[in-house]
Amino acid sequence: MAKVKICGICSAEDIDAINKALPDYIGFVFAPGKRQINPDTAAKLMEKLNPHIETVGIFKNENIETVATLYQNRIIDLAQLEGDEDDNYLFRLKDSYGCRIIKAASLDRPLPAFEEMPDYLIVDISGSGMGDGSRGEPGSSVGSNGTSSSGGFDWQAFSKTVGLPFFVTGDITADNVADIVRAANPYCVNVNLPFGDDGKVDIEGMREFIKIVRAGA
């Protein structure tokens, strides 16, 4: 059963919605972007979060001590690295601080030969034939016109090659997520916090999405 990660949490209202929908993970975006938050805000939001939901911090070439402090203070449970973080960075974060790591990877380029491997990968399905668009905000899905086609991408070979559980992100909606999960068999599906036409968090839409994913798609 695939898990669900909702990214872009940055307010108490967002946390209230998350606590009602109950995804497996949420993402605090510390990298530059529209829903970027600072550590103090994240700490306050963390206090209101259901303890069964794990938190992921999204970073891009961040100072390693900043990431480590957030982990040691239990503001984040995992670090999602979306920049040029090298093997030494991963080694220090994992071995010196014990932080679990999600590393951004590409479907069309092999993963660098890290000596200290991340715990998970996150890959953008845009361009694979399973979504239509390109990656935008760090840690988030973009667009809303995803297709349901698997695009012929050899997910079995990809999974065998990388040898790590992986998150998928990109143009993922309630309309196409069943096909995506069936084709890719990801560890987790990553989407951005959904909003309705009134600008409020779409709790029912989030619940429906999570239900589809957890039903085994």
Mean pLDDT by 10 residues, the chain (217 residues): 96 97 98 95 97 98 97 97 93 94 86 81 79 44 32 81 92 94 95 92 96 85
**pLDDT for 66-99, tens place per residue?**
999 999 999 999 999 999 999 999 999 999 999 9
- Prediction pTM value: 0.88
- Return the pLDDT at 205: 95
Q: What is the mean pLDDT of the chain?
A: 87
**Do the Cβ atoms of 189 and 5 come closer than 8 Å?**
yes
Enter the tokens of residue 187: 């560890």
Helix residue ranges per DSSP H, the chain:
12-21, 39-48, 64-72, 87-91, 155-162, 177-184, 203-214
CB 83 within 8 A of CB 61: yes
DSSP state of 30: -
Q: For residues 11-39, b (16+ Cβ closer than 10 Å) or e, as one string?
A: eeebbebbeebebbbbbbbbbebebbbeb
Query: Across the strands, what pairs with 168?
Result: 123, 189
Q: In 10 A of CB 72, how many CB atoms?
A: 12
d(CA 191, CA 142): 8
CATH of domain 3-214: 3.20.20.70
Measured distance CA(86)–CA(69) in Å, rounded: 19
Distance CA 170, CA 144 (A): 9
The β-bridge partners of 8 are: none
What's the rounded Cα separation, in Å, for the pair 167 and 103? Answer: 10
Confidence at residue 157, expressed as pLDDT on a 0 to 100 scale: 87
Q: Of 57, 55, 103, which is closest to residue 83 (Cα–Cα)?
A: 103
For residue 193, which of 183, 206, 184 has the smallest C-alpha distance? Answer: 206
Residue 10 and residue 26: Cα distance in Å, rounded? 10
Residue with tokens 């939901």: 53
